């Protein structure tokens, strides 16, 4: 299907993949692959994120972001390069830009169980003492989204002609991040830079991103014909998109599509927006070298070999989180 035919992102049912019915599973893999080869985004229902725990997390993060700035800043830890805890207003910008995005956010990372030596690579999570439920609710959402992400990657592996569990070990205790975001209200739009937006156009760094339903409009994806189309998902759906690592691994067979969060109309700039993406990363040692099955005479190799860890560090510097 030519991408220009997509006026909205395709909607898929993960139960088709997990049902045990070979025909339904095969169709899910085919439909997912077609979407990721063209527009790079899908909306997925029947995932593993529980609706009640999702509501609880939104409640918790609204309470956290409502705290005074001086309280929130207690959880902005110098030296962590924003890997864990609070990241203040305007700190992150899109690659190639200098103007900070109109947002603040919080990072929850991997909690390694057992004796996996990769634990030494990850800083400890930072938990706000003012909101006791933050830890329990965040970690439960993290686990449910990670479980969903593993199933999505299994479908991707089959589409690429790889063993179904190709990604399993690569993402076990991976460097994934849950990021509750607050696009804060702007009471005086004239007081911010003219080119400041909630999130400037960008591609995600990771393998795949799983986005819990956002609380307001504004997310848009750039279609290949240059038209921006709105991304909307029903409350029970997750939006799942390809990140730059997966695009690189597949030599652009799967597309990491540019997307953005636009500002609301001027009279609504004083309203907040909340969003909670889960950025699924592999372990740092995973090679992002193009898969042999994705390189041929008509699709020559586009990028040099690099590990996921080195690629992440390079990109964190480009977006201003790492010096």
Model confidence over 256-282: pLDDT tens digits?
A: 989 998 877 888 888 888 999 999 999
Region 167-174: what's the mean pLDDT?
98
- Model confidence at 35, pLDDT cuts 50, 70, 90, reads very high
Percent residues over pLDDT 90 in the chain: 67
- Model confidence at 31, pLDDT cuts 50, 70, 90, reads very high
- Model confidence at 190, pLDDT cuts 50, 70, 90, reads confident
Can you tell me the distance from the alpha carbon of 99 to that of 239, in angstroms, rounded to the nearest whole number? 27
Give yes or no for residue 3 having a pLDDT over 70.
no
DSSP letters spanning 33-75: HHHHHHT-EEEEES-S--HHHHHHHHHHHHHHHTS-HHHHGGG
- Model confidence at 79, pLDDT cuts 50, 70, 90, reads confident
Give yes or no for residue 62 having a pLDDT over 90.
yes
Give yes or no for residue 50 having a pLDDT over 60.
yes
pLDDT at residue number 1: 38
- Model confidence at 82, pLDDT cuts 50, 70, 90, reads confident
pLDDT tens for residues 286-311? Answer: 999 999 999 999 999 999 999 999 99
Give yes or no for residue 110 having a pLDDT over 60.
yes
Rounded to two decimals, the pTM is: 0.93
Q: Return the exposure string of 277-308: e unless at least 16 CB atoms fall within 10 Å of the residue's CB, then b.
A: bbbbbbbbebebbbbeebbeeeeeeeeeeebb
pLDDT at residue number 98: 66
Give yes or no for residue 44 having a pLDDT over 70.
yes
Can you tell me the distance from the alpha carbon of 258 to that of 202, in angstroms, rounded to the nearest whole number? 5
Percent residues over pLDDT 70 in the chain: 94
- Model confidence at 185, pLDDT cuts 50, 70, 90, reads confident
pLDDT at residue number 215: 52
Give yes or no for residue 33 having a pLDDT over 80.
yes
pLDDT tens for residues 215-231? Answer: 557 888 998 888 898 88
CATH superfamily of 3-318: B-lactam Antibiotic, Isopenicillin N Synthase; Chain (2.60.120.330)
pLDDT at residue number 20: 93
Region 115-131: what's the mean pLDDT?
96
pLDDT at residue number 97: 65
Residue 101: DSSP 8-state: P
- Model confidence at 16, pLDDT cuts 50, 70, 90, reads very high
Mean pLDDT of all residues belonging to the chain: 90
- Of the candidates 140, 142, 152, 147, which has an alpha carbon nearest to the alpha carbon of residue 122? 142
Task: Answer whether 45's CB lies under 8 Å from 234's CB.
Answer: yes
Can you tell me the distance from the alpha carbon of 316 to that of 308, in angstroms, rounded to the nearest whole number? 12
pLDDT at residue number 81: 79
């Amino acid at each position: 299907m030519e991408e220009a035919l997509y006026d909205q992102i395709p909607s898929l049912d993960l139960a088709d993949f997990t049902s045990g019915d070979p025909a339904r599973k095969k169709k899910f893999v085919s439909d997912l692959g077609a979407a990721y080869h063209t527009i790079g985004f899908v909306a997925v229902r029947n995932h593993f994120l529980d609706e009640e725990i999702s509501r609880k997390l939104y409640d918790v993060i609204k309470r956290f972001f409502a705290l005074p700035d001086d309280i929130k800043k207690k959880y902005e830890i110098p030296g962590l390069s924003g890997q864990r805890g609070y990241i203040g207003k305007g700190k992150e910008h899109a690659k190639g830009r200098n103007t900070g995005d109109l947002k603040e956010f919080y990072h929850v990372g991997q909690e390694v169980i057992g004796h996996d030596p990769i634990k030494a690579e990850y800083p400890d999570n930072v938990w706000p003492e003012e909101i006791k439920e933050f830890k329990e609710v965040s970690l439960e959402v993290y686990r449910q989204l990670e479980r969903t992400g593993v199933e999505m990657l299994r479908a991707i592996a089959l589409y690429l002609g790889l063993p179904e569990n190709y990604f399993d070990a690569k993402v076990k205790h991976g460097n994934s991040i849950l990021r509750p975001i607050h696009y804060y209200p702007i009471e005086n739009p004239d007081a911010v830079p003219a080119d400041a937006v909630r999130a400037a156009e960008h591609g995600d760094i990771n393998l795949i991103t799983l986005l819990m339903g956002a609380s307001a409009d504004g997310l848009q994806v750039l279609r290949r014909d240059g038209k921006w189309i709105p991304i909307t998902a029903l409350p029970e759906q997750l939006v799942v998109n390809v990140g730059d690592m997966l695009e690189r691994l597949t030599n652009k067979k799967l597309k990491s599509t540019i997307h953005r969060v636009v500002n609301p109309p001027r009279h609504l700039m004083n309203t907040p927006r909340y969003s909670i993406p889960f950025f699924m990363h592999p372990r740092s040692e995973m090679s992002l070298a193009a898969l042999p099955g994705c390189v041929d005479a008509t699709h020559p190799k586009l990028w040099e070999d690099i590990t996921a860890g080195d690629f992440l560090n390079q990109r964190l510097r480009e977006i201003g989180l790492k010096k």
